Amino acid sequence: METQAQYSDKELVKQLPGFTSHLITVNNIQLHYVAGGTGQPLICLPGWPQTWYSFHKVMPALAKKYRVIVVDIRGMGSSDKPFNGYDKKTMAKDIFELIQKLGIKKAHVLGHDIGGMVASSLAFNYPKAVDKLILMDGAHPSEAMREMRLLPMPGTFGDKINDKMPFLWWMAFNQVKELPEQLLEGRFRYLLDWLFSYVMLDDAKMSDFDREVAAYHYNRPENIRASNAWYQAFEQDIKDMNTYGTLQMPVLGMASESSYEFMKQGLPYIAKNVEVIKVEGSGHYFNEENPQAVIDAVLHFLH
């Protein structure tokens, strides 16, 4: 295990001068987060299959104007992995209690992928705690998810994701209990490499080191079990979504080529004051593929 020490939070945070690693107990679990910078708080929530480290290319620039707090959500990285509580409403409560414990009255909140689902739930359930909301290729689960195809349309499933008819087979695979961790324990790098190649325009932008950081965590069966639970909670998330009203705070949707039309059509249904932009030259993993575009868009929206 000594050879993998370089992928630990303690070592990774050394790459980011001014940032520190912390553990905090909220909602009866322990969350890990990395924080740095000064100014109004900007809470960032990563997605699958990554950790806080997925923001490392954008954190230093954002920290020049904001207090950047990147959280490993429940089931991620060095945070706890209980056997329940993966519905986004419970996960939103985790983040709300973190906000309270840190003495923050109101924060900007940014979520990518699954983190965008949690960020959305936080905004729905604790609107007074959220100043502005940024959703990066991820929003709250809704009835539209039931329309996803189990089989791809003819000619649409190739080496790269089809922008018009994306085939997201892992949405179904991650519903399966126990089998994924048996298949992927110690082998998660195979899934990472395939996924990055499929959903990124240029997966060379995802370095070998970045991949190893993710594999370091997701190779463990308890981490696979916990992260898949985010997907297994979609049914409850959809039920909760049907009880929510419309978001009133400013919302920015940042979309990749394959999600732009979906987000452009979908976000106006959940937010009154919303703008959706396409992150040019980037697939799903913006922070690695076009970090400058992320920095520019976030700073422009939050100023």
Instruction: Give the domain ranges of the chain.
Output: 2-302
Six-digit token pair at 179?
Answer: 């089998």
Q: What is the pTM of this model?
A: 0.98
pLDDT at 3: 75
Eight-state DSSP code of residue 149: -
pLDDT of 280 over the 60 cut: yes
Whole-angstrom distance, CA of residue 117 vs CA of residue 139? 5
121, 238 Cβ separation under 8 angstroms: no
Residue 277, strand partner residues: 254
Confidence band of 1 (pLDDT split at 50, 70, 90): very low
24, 98 Cβ separation under 8 angstroms: yes
Edge to edge, the sheet with strand 41-45 lists 20-26, 29-36, 67-72, 41-45, 107-112, 130-136, 251-255, 274-278
Eight-state DSSP code of residue 38: -
Eight-state DSSP code of residue 70: E
Q: Which of 111-125, 199-213, 235-249, 254-268 has the lowest mean pLDDT?
A: 254-268
| Average pLDDT, rounded, for the chain | 97
In CATH terms, is domain 2-302 a member of 3.40.50.1820?
A: yes
pLDDT in tens, 225-260: 999 999 999 999 999 999 999 999 999 999 998 899
Q: Which residues of 174-201 are buried (b: 16+ CB within 10 A; e: fewer)?
A: beeeeebbeebeeebbebbeebbbbbbb
pLDDT of 55 over the 50 cut: yes
